[in-house]
Amino acid sequence: MLRAERNSGSKDADLINSYITQGKIVPVEITVNLIKIAMTNIMKNNGGNNFLIDGFPRSENNYEGWVSVMGDFAVVECMLFFECPLPVLEQRILGRAKFSGRKDDNVESLRLRFETYKTETMPIVEVFRGMNKVVEIDSSQARSDVWNMVRNKLAGMSDQEKLNAPLTEKSECMLGLRKWPKREKKKE
C-alpha cells in the first residue's frame, strides 16, 4: 500500500518516498489511514467486513496509531500470536533464503529481528493478552498443521463459504505449502 501510494502522486507521496528511500518507517498515521482506506474500499466493493492484517501492530507506536486513526471504525476481535523457538525460525529462514533473494534472510538479521520483536512487539502481545484477545498458535509444527490450527481458530469469525474454498496458488506459496513459481528475469 505504501509503495502504491508513493507512486500515486497523492499529497503524501513525496513524504512516503522520502521515508522509504531513507530506510525509515513511514509515520504510523499514514500507514493506518491507508489500511482504513483499503478496508473501506473492500467493504464498498464486495461487502467484505473481516480483515486479517499481517504483522501489525508491531510496536506501541503502531498500536497507538491504530487506536487514534481507527477509533470505532474497526473492532479487533483477536491477535494471532505465532510462537516458534529461535532454532526452528533459523532453520526456516535459511530454507527460505534459498529461494527468496531477500538480503535479510540470514541468521544474523534474524537474530536482530528477534531481539527487536521481543522488546517492541511482545509488550503489544501482552496488551492483547490482558484483553483476552490473543489466539496462540504453536508454529513450530508442520506448515499444514499450523494452517489447520489457524483455520480452526478463526472458523467462527469467517465466512464459511470462503473458509471452505480451496487455497489459491498464491496462498499456498505464502504458506510455504508450495514453491513460488520461477520468475523470468527482466530484459534491460
Q: What is the pLDDT of residue 134?
A: 95
User: Where residue 162 falls among pLDDT bands split at 50, 70, 90?
Assistant: confident
What is the pLDDT averaged over residues 21-41? 88
94-144 per-position pLDDT tens digit? 887 777 777 777 888 888 888 888 888 899 999 999 999 999 999 999 888
Q: What is the pLDDT of residue 32?
A: 94
Domain locations in the chain as residue ranges: 77-156
Q: What is the pLDDT of residue 186?
A: 58
Q: What is the pLDDT of residue 125?
A: 95
Nearest to 17 by CA among 39, 35, 2, 34: 2
What is the pLDDT averaged over residues 159-181? 80
77-156 under CATH 3.40.50.300, yes or no: yes
Average pLDDT for the chain: 86
Residue count (the chain): 188
CA distance 96 to 86: 15
Least confident span in 15-19, 37-41, 59-63: 15-19
CA distance 100 to 12: 30
User: Where residue 163 falls among pLDDT bands split at 50, 70, 90?
Assistant: confident
Sequence-separated contacts (24+) of 51-55 with Cβ below 8 Å: 52/80, 52/154
Q: Are the C-beta atoms of residues 66 and 57 closer than 8 Å to each other?
A: yes
Grid cell of 21 as nine digits: 528511500
- What is the value of pTM for the model shown? 0.76
